[in-house]
Amino acid sequence: MSGTGGLGDGGILEMAIVEKYGVLSTLGFVFGFNWVPFSELMGPVRGSKKKRKTEKKPDENASASSEMEGSVDWWDGLSRRMNGLQSPSKGIDKFKSVFRISRKTFSYICSLVKEDMTAKPGNFTFSNGKPLSFEDQVAVALRRLSSGESLVTVGDSFGLHRSTVLQLTWRFVEAMEERGLHHLQWPSTEAEMTEIKSKFEKIQGLPNCCGVIETTHVMMCLPSADPASKVWLDHEKNHSMVLQAIVDPEMRFRDIVTGWPGKIDDWLMFQSSNFYKLCDKGERLNGEKIELSNGSEIREYIIGDLGYPLLPYLVIPYKGKEQPEISAEFNRRHSATRLVASRALARLKEMWKIIQGVMWRPDKHKLPRIILVCCLLHNIVVDLEDEDAQDEMPLSYDHDPGYRQRICGSFDIDGVHLRDELSLYLSGKMPT
């Protein structure tokens, strides 16, 4: 899926799901369905749109004392039931270890999904017959997403049947993808984009940079007898689904695309995305240019690795280890700036472990939606500046171990000129 902002600026949520002999492609703010032949895999088509529901924005004052007291009572009760938690007196200390987020973030997530989750009928009870509160239901879903443990393991820890864990997780996913989409948007104002560009420049000096693009693989375990098995087999002989993300300097996802088989090359995935189409039409990365001392101008752009083409709005490093001093310095700064995307994807998989390990025979209609919701949760943690979750930062930036980079090699002459101008500017040798 590609979350790219509001309808007013051409934003689209984008998903492609390959199933057996075809592609189920959905375009629109929620989901609209169109079947296209497998031979047209690289060309998702636009679908219908559903009316978006009212979005709630983070409320920093939501943690009123009465609400927090109720939250403590709720957590004390649940902690008594959970295996491995010794006593309610330690419940507050255990909250972070169980859910990997703060109570404030948990309360905000509850406020987002409450209307949708409680509107549906359901009689969920613990093994002792006591009904689950709404907070219990959200807790079960978050535990499933954050731990990555099996339905049976999560169910056993809460005293629930695996089918109950499955139902609650999916209810939560459906509610989040309806109510949380405003947490994944391309910057909608000039002021917001100016701040992003300023923060990127502070990293390694790259001027007018608007984002970093990178991909990662989500593993799947499919039996060879599955008719779709070959479709999902990637270049490293794993079954996987790929996630492409454009990240801002605070590790917030600004645009994502998922649902494609892991074997699709980065550049093909990018060129099939709505983001690429908007850029190509001049409707994205079309903001204010920076004038350099020699009179040349630097337009808005994003950066990526050698898996992408060199375009007028997508800057990749110079290829080859032996480079002139100016090019080598550019590559060093370019690489250091790209780390923000590696850190974001590593943290996504570390915090929401359901997409870190191997998904056993996942429902390929649902997996892209689970990935989307994990990205939304990741952004909520960033937006709420959740210090408890910030402590979960992984030590390694290797979010895709075992995968070798595939080189694109394609370039546009305007992209070549942009990269050369940036190299001269960063070297301090720009002629005046």
Taking only the tens place, the pLDDT of each residue in 88-146 is 444 445 788 788 888 999 999 999 999 999 998 888 998 888 999 999 999 999 999 99
Q: Which of 49-53, 124-128, 407-411 has the lowest mean pLDDT?
A: 49-53
Q: Please provide residue 151's backbone torsions phi and psi, each rounded to the nearest 5 degrees.
A: -60, -40
**Model confidence, pTM:** 0.84
Q: What share of the chain is helix, strand, coil (3-state, %, to 5)?
A: 45, 15, 40
Q: Quick one: how far is CA 390 from the chain centroid?
A: 16
- Mean pLDDT of all residues in 254-265: 95
User: How large is the average pLDDT for residues 338-352?
Assistant: 95
Which candidate, 279, 258, 267, places its Cα nearest to that of 305? 267
CA distance 155 to 166: 9
Dihedrals phi, psi of 71, to nearest 5 degrees: -65, -40
Per-residue pLDDT band for 227 (boundaries 50, 70, 90) equals confident
DSSP calls for 275-302: HHHHHHTTSSS-S--EE-TTS-EE--EE
Tokens of 392: 């979960």
Contact status, residue 138 vs residue 197, Cβ threshold 8 Å: no
**Mapped to the 3 state alphabet, what secondary structure does 137-176 carry?**
HHHHHHHHHHHCCCHHHHHHHHCCCHHHHHHHHHHHHHHH
Look up residue 376 and give its DSSP letter.
H
**pLDDT bucket at 429, cuts 50 / 70 / 90:** confident
Instruction: Find the range with the poorest average confidence among 91-95, 260-264, 315-319, 341-345.
Output: 91-95
Whole-angstrom distance, CA of residue 385 vs CA of residue 81: 30
pLDDT, mean of residues 239-267: 96
Return the percentage of the chain with pLDDT > 70, whole number: 78
User: Which residue in this structure is represented by tokens 């074997």?
Assistant: 263
217 has pLDDT over 70: yes
CB 205 within 8 A of CB 333: yes
Residue 363 binned pLDDT confidence (cut-offs 50, 70, 90): confident
| More reliable by pLDDT, 56 or 312 | 312
Say which residue the tokens 């870190």 belong to.
356
Q: Are 302 and 246 in contact (CB under 8 A)?
A: yes
Q: Is 39 exposed, middle or buried (0-12, 13-18, 19+ CB in 10 A)?
A: exposed
The pLDDT, as a whole number, for residue 183 is 97
Centroid of chain to Cα 104:
21
Q: How confident is the model at residue 85 (pLDDT cuts 50, 70, 90)?
A: very low
Residue 305 dihedral angles phi and psi, to the nearest 5°: -90, -170
Residue 359 near residue 221 (C-beta atoms within 8 A): yes
Residue keyed to tokens 């001093």: 325
Average pLDDT over residues 325-340: 96
Are residues 210 and 193 in contact, defined by beta-carbon separation less than 8 angstroms? Answer: yes
Q: What confidence score (pLDDT) does residue 390 get?
A: 65
- Closest by CA to 180, choosing from 58, 63, 71, is 58
Can you tell me the distance from the alpha carbon of 58 to that of 41, in angstroms, rounded to the nearest whole number? Answer: 38
Q: Which residue has the tokens 């001027």?
A: 207
